[in-house]
Structure 1
Amino acid sequence: MAIGATIHTFTGQLADVDRGVYDDLALRVARHASETNAFMLTRVLAYCLEFAEGIAFSDGIASTDEPAVLVRDPTGRVTSWIEVGAPDSARLHYGAKLADRAVVYTHRDPAKVVAAWQGKPLHRAEDLVVRSFGPGFVDAATSAIERRNTITVSVTEGHLYLELNGRTFDAPIIETRARP
């Protein structure tokens, strides 16, 4: 854990009807002083929406060669490279070559995130998806974040329903292709 990090806990349930994934959540998330609540919440949502055996948060800012979230198979090989925010194309290119799949979750305008990669090498760019949420969703939900959080994440028909500390939020999950 980085010096100056604030620990947040998220306990609750995950019900991803679209993927048939259901589990209890007990997450400890270190938020570095330079990390916004919007980035942290997007990281937590990426973890939930990509939940699979072997999923883990990386060391975050302290780790320059890993994404915010990753999935490893039982041998330790990275199978999913999950970036958060607006990663540069070189980092994403590396991750897409290393893992079976790469995906980006962003709390920013996905069109601007994708535009920054145009004309730059991007391994399997046609397979790369950027996922975002309806306008204002992340900003509204961050107002409910505390140090200890109860959370319920539900997904059905491409729509995200979030209950965070007794407040409810919902938004479509928007998918943008890196390159058509």
Structure 2
Amino acid sequence: MALKATIFKVDLSISDMDKHYYADHALTIARHPSESDKRMMLRIIAFAFNAHEQLEFTKGLSDVDTPDLWQKNYSGEIELWIELGQPSEQRIKKGCNQAVQMMVYSYDNNAFDEWWKKEQNALNMRKNLTITTVSETTIEQLADLVERQMQIQVTIQDGQAWFSVNNQTIEVSLNKVKEV
């Protein structure tokens, strides 16, 4: 019998002073059996930094035709395509061709460094692609706080974020490896 996704309920309160975006999001996250707490928290980080009323999680690992998150406009056009990890060049090409903007969020570790060395020349040609890393230590700290029901308050100012989970605050810094 196949393993089923684990459901997480997250009340995410975002105060983004850089974008003047202030909203609460009641998120239901279906975590695929092969997905770790670290990867799930990276999805939440990507959501928080790109928060919009139309940004949503997709089936992610369960559906190879969709990204981890995307934002569509009212006519169904993909405005933002977000992938996690180190996607293949073909996957990035697909996202860049189908969306106005594409973003990749990854852990800042040796695997990313090797991937970036291999793919850098081809990816630098993509004009609508942004690649961002987050410290693996930061992700591990956030993953240690994961519960099935979470209340997370995020404050973003001057490109820095503070995630408050279970009365613990963790600073999250993004490293922009490639910007649009």
Q: Structure 1: how far apart are the matches of 2:76 and 2:128?
A: 23
DSSP-derived class of the 1:94 partner: helix
Shift of 1:12: 3.5
Shift of 1:128: 1.9
- Do 2:132 and 2:176's aligned partners in 1 also have CA atoms closer than 8 Å? yes
Q: Structure 2: how far apart are the matches of 1:15 and 1:114?
A: 32
Say what the alpha-carbon RMSD is for the aligned residues. Answer: 2.1
Indicate yes or no: 2:88 matched with 1:88.
yes
In structure 1, give the amino acid aligned to 2:35.
E
Unaligned runs of 5+ in 1: none
User: How many residue pairs get matched?
Assistant: 177
* Residue of structure 2 in register with 1:61 after alignment: 61
Shift of 1:82: 0.7
Deviates further, 84-93 or 124-133: 124-133
1:57-136 equivalence runs, <5 A: 57-109=57-109, 110-120=112-122, 122=123, 124-136=125-137
Deviations 1:16-61 (A, max 9, x none): 1111111012111011110011111001111111112321111111
Q: Structure 2: how far apart are the matches of 1:124 and 1:40?
A: 29
* Residue of structure 1 in register with 2:156 after alignment: 155
- Do 1:96 and 1:124's aligned partners in 2 also have CA atoms closer than 8 Å? no
In structure 2, give the amino acid aligned to 1:138.
I
DSSP-derived class of the 1:118 partner: helix
* Residue of structure 2 in register with 1:170 after alignment: 171
State TM-score, norm by structure 2: 0.89
Shift of 1:178: 7.3
- Do 2:96 and 2:128's aligned partners in 1 also have CA atoms closer than 8 Å? no
- Do 1:67 and 1:83's aligned partners in 2 also have CA atoms closer than 8 Å? yes
Shift of 1:73: 0.3
Shift of 1:114: 2.2
Unaligned runs of 5+ in 2: none
* Residue of structure 2 in register with 1:52 after alignment: 52
Deviations 1:76-98 (A, max 9, x none): 11111111111111101110011
- Do 2:12 and 2:27's aligned partners in 1 also have CA atoms closer than 8 Å? no
State TM-score, norm by structure 1: 0.89
Indicate yes or no: 2:58 matched with 1:38.
no
